[in-house]
Amino acid sequence: MVRKIRIYPDPILREKAEVVEEVGGEILALAEDLADTMIAHEGLGLSANQIGELKRVISVDRSEFSGRESDVQILINPSVVYREGEDVDEEGCLSFPGLYFDVKRSYLVVVKALELQGNKPVPVEITATGLYARVLQHEIDHLNGVLYIDYLKPKERMRKLREWKENLKEELSV
């Protein structure tokens, strides 16, 4: 089911998601909703926080970098256990429609998680670089209540948010 994406400044975006203790029907339904919502909104990733659920679950559309037409990955309790290098590239976020700017992130990350394979959670250790690493870091940040705007210096963040809000008002009034 496609769910409503929470838009900044919705307070749930600043909350820390809870660790998933058991992968049952509730989590499997959440995983399906995350995938459906991410695909419907053409995102590269989506966290449970962004659809109003404080559970440590993310979806990633790997088709952008795997070459496969449909390649959605669901990760439960993901955490970055190693990072290396620096990479600066433009990022956007479904919770900030239309707001894009450069963000400095690690070029390489190692993430430990449970990956849903079918309906079964399987422990994985993922080594990711480039765009894949960027998406994983962005979504895991969401689970910790950290937003990509937090990577901007305070004055720049205020300016970008002011411009973004003005643009949203203009789009809504058209």
- Give pLDDT, residue 174: 65
Residue 20 located in a structural domain: yes
Residue 172 located in a structural domain: no
Residue 141 located in a structural domain: yes
Q: Report yes or no: 90 and 105 within 8 Å, Cβ to Cβ.
A: no
Q: Report yes or no: 3 and 39 within 8 Å, Cβ to Cβ.
A: no
User: Which domain, by its residues, includes 107?
Assistant: 11-149
- Give pLDDT, residue 66: 76
d(CA 62, CA 157) in angstroms, rounded, equals 29
Residue 139 located in a structural domain: yes
Residue 167 located in a structural domain: no
Total structural domains within the chain: 1
Is position 139 annotated as part of the catalytic site? yes
Give the residue among 129, 115, 137, 98 at the shortest CA–CA distance from 57.
Answer: 115
- Give pLDDT, residue 1: 97
- Give pLDDT, residue 112: 98
Residue 71 amino acid letter: D
Distance of alpha carbon 4 from the chain centroid: 15
- Walking along the chain (174 residues) 10 residues at a time, the average pLDDT comes out as 98 98 97 97 97 98 85 97 98 97 98 96 98 97 98 97 92 73
Which residue of the set 91, 139, 163, 170 is catalytic? 139
The answer to whether the Cα torsion of 81, 86, 87, 88 is positive or negative is positive
